[in-house]
Structure 1
């Protein structure tokens, strides 16, 4: 079955992912007593808020132009995008309150990886309708989050081992 999904829907999903990421990092920051870790998590939350605002702006700009739909021959793209969003949304709800910081960081890294894949898909699907450099900058920042979270996770593992 051939279906399509609108760019508006895709950008709405991106906004939701960024909003949930910001909430996750803010709530995680509230759980730690380590001032450096707290500042780092708050800065990630602030970046996610900026990304959400960018997607909201692009969504508005594109809504003012002709509606753009992307063909999805077997509804695979729409299901894939929704699965990624659901995974990012559900990550926060999987917490039970007794996770170690290592577990939280590992989950955050997985979530950021899914986000990068999602945005690469947007970048590819949008083609000429979106400035590839703009979304590329967000992808670069998300990759930076992965790098920073990974370094933090390794540093914490090292400190615990000593």
Structure 2
């Protein structure tokens, strides 16, 4: 079983989540027939890219900072790994779904909503694993993910 031993590993994971989210949104944009839908998904791809930069800078600042030890560290690490393993962005390749033509705009939005919810939950946990000074960056990303979730939900209502 893999364990996080360095705080920069946490930031690296967050970067991977944002990269995968960006790839999903770019797939959705490419598959969108409606120009408004394409623009909608391209916006989210740009947002994911922006978050990746936040986490890259965080990783670079933290270097090899040790995570604080604790008696429940191993159990907590297993919990975080379970969150990662269950995150939809790591469990399905959406390329085929988009290419099949059976993946509607609403399907893409609902999937994006799951990504955003999973990411909010995971980032909420990860913020406890970064130095105090850097928690504000993770908090800002969580707040933006919440905003994305609200925007996606509104789009389904339209």
Residue equivalent to 1:154: 157
Partner of 1:42: 42
Match among 144, 150, 153 for residue 141 of structure 1: 144
- Normalized per residue, the structure richer in strand is 1
| CA deviations over 1:97-150 (Å, ceiling 9, x no partner) | 32222222111111111111111112233352x333222211111111101111
Flag the 1:94–1:132 CA change in 2: closer, same or farther, 3 A. Answer: same
After TM superposition, give the deviation of residue 81 of structure 1 in Å: 2.8
Aligned-pair RMSD on alpha carbons? 2.2
Question: What's the counterpart of residue 80 of structure 2?
Answer: 81
The two structures have a TM-score, normalised by structure 1, of: 0.81
Residues 32-56 of structure 1: CA deviation (Å, up to 9, x unaligned) = 1111111111011011011111101
Q: Is this contact kept in 1: 2:51–2:141, CA < 8 A?
A: yes
The Cα of 1:94 is off from its aligned counterpart by 8.1
Paired residues, number: 150
Taking structure 2 as the reference length, the TM-score comes to 0.82
Which aligned pairs between 1:63-142 and structure 2 lie closer than 5 A?
Answer: 63=63, 67-71=65-69, 73=72, 75-86=74-85, 87=87, 88-93=89-94, 96=97, 97=100, 98-128=102-132, 130-142=133-145
Does structure 2 retain, via aligned residues, the 8 Å contact 1:4–1:70? no
Measure, in 2, the Cα distance between the counterparts of 1:131 and 1:19. Answer: 20
Cα 1:94–1:23, aligned 2, differ >3 Å: closer, same or farther? closer
CA distance in 2, matches of 1:79, 1:70: 16
Residue 6 of structure 1 deviates from its aligned partner by 2.0
Q: Contact 2:54/2:137 (CA < 8 Å) preserved in 1?
A: no
Q: Is the 8 A contact 1:119 1:135 kept in 2?
A: yes
